[in-house]
Amino acid sequence: MPFLVVMTIAARGRKPDGKSEYIQSYDANSSEYSNTLTSVAKDNYICEKEAFCLQYVRNDYGRMIRKGYEAGYIKARRSEIRHLLPRTDGITNTITTILKDNIIMERELMPEPIEARPKGKGWKWIAEEMCWVRLRKLTPKECFRLMDVSEEGIDKIQTAIFPDKKSVIPIGYGVPDAESKQTRISDSQQYKMAGNSIVVACLSGIFENLFTQEEVIKETLF
């Protein structure tokens, strides 16, 4: 199953700067409430946003030559023997330090074929399915959330200020001084931190079993 987000949107006519004609666009309501109910249907459209994690799967050619390829008799590029398909189990791939190990496909189902591109880059309109689609990478915050890091912990990681690039102890949290050598943890380093760590809940479970669980006495025949 995909990750599903449902939000209320309203169709509005907007006049871009420098243009005389109005362009129909969508205004998204990101709150938990709907827009005011009126007699105009376009004031309350429902937009469903789906997100799938993609994984590499062998294609027909890859399955056909699998034995020969693995034995080294047949040479082929990886792009020739596999392709990306959405996962249907509702989970992501293993979080690693390599960004392409987790590519997300987002799909926004629109109520009608309106020329209103969703916010962000990379969106493409698929007329046959009446939806916008794009591929993107997981953000550092999403990676930390998948690793079960608390929101407070994520905020500390992403707002920590260091006196310079070589320092490992933060001097505060917030916005670095632009006139000094103060710096933050870069996105690439945050990806490495998430990819090289262990899921918090799993680690807690291991420690709980090691140190807090009462010893179980097993009955044997001897």
| Mean pLDDT for the stretch of residues 186-204 | 88
Whether pLDDT at 34 is above 80: no
pLDDT in tens, 75-130: 999 889 888 888 878 788 888 888 778 888 887 766 555 556 777 778 777 776 67
Predicted local confidence at residue 79, as pLDDT? 86
Higher pLDDT, 167 or 31: 167
Higher pLDDT, 67 or 209: 67
Which tokens belong to 14?
Answer: 């907007």
Which segment of 36-45, 162-171, 205-214 scores lowest on mean pLDDT? Answer: 36-45
**Under 8 Å between Cβ of 12 and 25:** yes
Q: What percent of the chain has pLDDT over 70?
A: 68
| Rounded (10°) angle between helices 187-195 and 151-159 | 140
Predicted local confidence at residue 219, as pLDDT? 46
Interatomic CA distance for residues 50 and 46, integer angstroms: 13
DSSP letter for each residue of 30-55 = -SSSPPPP-S-GGGSEEEEEEEEEEE
Predicted local confidence at residue 220, as pLDDT? 44
Within 8 A by CB and 6+ apart from 88, the residues are: 1, 2
Predicted local confidence at residue 154, as pLDDT? 92
Most confident of 62-66, 99-103, 166-170: 62-66
Judge if pTM exceeds 0.85.
no
DSSP structure class, residue 165: T
